[in-house]
Structure 1
Amino acid sequence: MLIAITIQLFSFLIIWIPAYFIYKKGVYMLLSGFNTKPEEEQQRLIENGYPQAVGKAMMNSSYILLAGAVLAFFVEPDFAVVVSWLVWMLYLFIRLITLSKLDNSKTKKRNLSILIGAMVFSIILVAVVFLEGEREPRFTVSDQSVAVSGRHGVEWSLEEITDIDLVGEVPEIRSKMNGYSFMERRRGHFSIEGLGRGRLFVHTGTPPFLYLERDDDFLFVNSKDPAKTEQWFQQVRGSVE
């Protein structure tokens, strides 16, 4: 949670600080491409209120990210972050489209095309990351190993497994190290209270959970179907024994 909030606050600051100097102090050179325009064109844009309006839009959009950091104290942090970034992109995109009417420069059409392209790319990127994280990992048991497929997947030799258990809950998750976390889905590397760093491939609200351990490493995995999780437990225990 602390990492997500820290990143969110940092994102807020790197947008709010230049926006403040643009909107409040008139430092228009902070706007991308503004300083390279001819002086006459810069003056026309200032008279139209374009750079001032862009700075204000940036500042207002930064408050959406700040709201996401506050929301993370009350709901799932990753959910708060994702929602705030989606709202931020939508707000900024619509606001800059409307502000393009104040842009009378020769590069207006090019700037608008770049803005639309960047926004479409960002939406696609967010969608790809989300869909990849939501994809159900496959757990397989062979004669020699167990494996979890997909991103952050892992394969362990049966000979390395030192403990097998079917548990009713996952210990408290202290932080996400490298992985995907949204609502009840956890995929990747996490720090777990009392166990340290290990891997989770779970739906936290759908017990039971298959727990496997080897040396100083561990993983929890389960299915949306509790019967399937129990079946995995029996398969692994039968293969190891």
Structure 2
Amino acid sequence: MEYSYVIQIFLILMFFFFSYLILIRKNYYLISGFNTSTPEEQREMIQAGYPRAVGKMTLHIAIILSLGFLLQLLHVPYAIEGSYVVMLIVLFVEFFWMTKKLKKKSKRINKTVLLLSLMLVIVVFAIPFIPNKLEINEDSFEMTGLYGEIWAYSDIEDISLYDELPETTIRTNGISMFGKHLGNYRMEGWGAGKLFIRSNNAPFMIVQTEDSFIIINAGQPNETEMYFQQLELAYQQYNDNH
């Protein structure tokens, strides 16, 4: 089972478990701020329906993530990303309505947290769209942007174009979202390497080094092919001069 699947299943089970503890077992101390409130404030929260609203919200999130996971198993494009977007919309809408059940001071705090969380989510979803660019140097090439790095031509063993890729076994330090795969991964039969994949559409440029590999896909086939031609020419020129 892929590592990402394990994480998704863990999140789903966690949200279902927390909704069970809050809605069925009435363990309201799990809710942020409830345990530190006075007994009178706790009674007011319960009467206003705040704890149950939190429990329902966690249940809704668990259901949404479950549907996204099932659709992903059916190979529906961007299913898990879509479930995250729906989850965030539900989270913010329900969180906003829950603040109406609290006192003015708590409302201000929760709305501030909501705004900061929204800004953080926007940043996280924008990260995969930060561009990477191939730069050709005299004795090395570089992929700029997120997870960028420089590789010397002397370390290259082969440069090829592939129509298909092996399965990713684990993402050790990277991002997989909206069909983009950036960062450090382990590929079946290949070991550890770095991915700069902007699209799942072929071709893919594979640069094999002495102890690793780099996979580059610029998003558009003609752009990936241009990268391949530029790098292959620079590599041949380097070998001719050395």
Aligned twin of 1:12: 12
Name the structure 2 match of 1:64: 64
Q: Aligned-pair distance for 1:137?
A: 1.0
Give the TM-score taking structure 1 as reference length. Answer: 0.83
Take 1:232 and 1:42, find their aligned partners in 2: how far apart are those partners? 65
Aligned mates of 1:136, 1:177 — CA distance in 2? 21
> 1:57-106 CA deviation, whole Å, 9 max, x = no partner?
322222222223223212379x4343323322221221232233433xxx
Distance 1:220 1:27, change over 3 A: closer
Tell me which amino acid in the other structure corresponds to 1:115: N
| Alignment-mate amino acid for residue 212 of structure 2 | D
CA distance in structure 1 between the aligned counterparts of 2:23 and 2:10, rounded to whole angstroms: 20
Aligned-pair CA distance for 1:43: 2.2
Distance 1:156 1:183 in 2: 27
Range with bigger deviation, 7-16 or 212-221: 7-16
For structure 2, the residue ranges without an aligned partner over 5 or more in a row are none
The residue that corresponds to 1:158 in the other structure is 153
Of stretches 13-22 and 131-140 in structure 1, the one that deviates more from structure 2 is 13-22
2:132 corresponding residue in structure 1:
137
Equivalent-residue separation in structure 2 for 1:217 and 1:161 (angstroms): 9
Deviations 1:116-147 (A, max 9, x none): 33333233223323323222211112111111
Q: Which amino acid aligns with 1:93?
A: F
Given the alignment, which residue of 221, 225, 228 partners 2:226? 228
- Distance (whole Å) between structure 2 residues aligned to residue 114 and residue 83 of structure 1: 29
- The equivalent residue for 2:182 is 187
Please tell me the residue identity of whatever aligns with 1:228: M
Correspondence for 1:172: 167
Question: What's the RMSD between the two structures over aligned residues?
Answer: 2.5
- The SS at the match of 1:102 is coil
Distance 1:38 1:151, change over 3 A: same
Question: In the alignment, what sits opposite 1:52?
Answer: 52
Deviation, 1:195, is 1.5
State the distance in 1 between where 2:100 and 2:122 align. 30
Q: 1:90 to 1:114 in 2, by over 3 A?
A: farther
Name the residue aligned to 1:80: 79
Query: Match of 2:110?
Result: 115
In the other structure, the counterpart of 2:90 is 91
Residue number in structure 2 paired with 1:218:
213
Counterpart amino acid of residue 84 in structure 2: W
Q: CA deviation at 1:148?
A: 1.0
Total equivalences in the alignment: 236
Change (3 A) 1:220 1:96: closer
Q: Which runs of 5+ in 1 are unaligned?
A: none
1:165-193: per-residue Cα shift (whole Å, max 9, x none)?
Answer: 23333333333222122343222122223
Q: TM-score, normalised by structure 2?
A: 0.83
Q: Counterparts of 2:105 and 2:84 in 1: how far apart (Å)?
A: 25
Contact 2:69 2:79 in 1 (8 A): yes
Q: Which one-letter code corresponds to 2:59 in the other structure?
A: M
For 1:240 and 1:126, the matched residues in 2 are separated by 46
**Matched residues in 2 for 1:62 and 1:102: separation?**
23
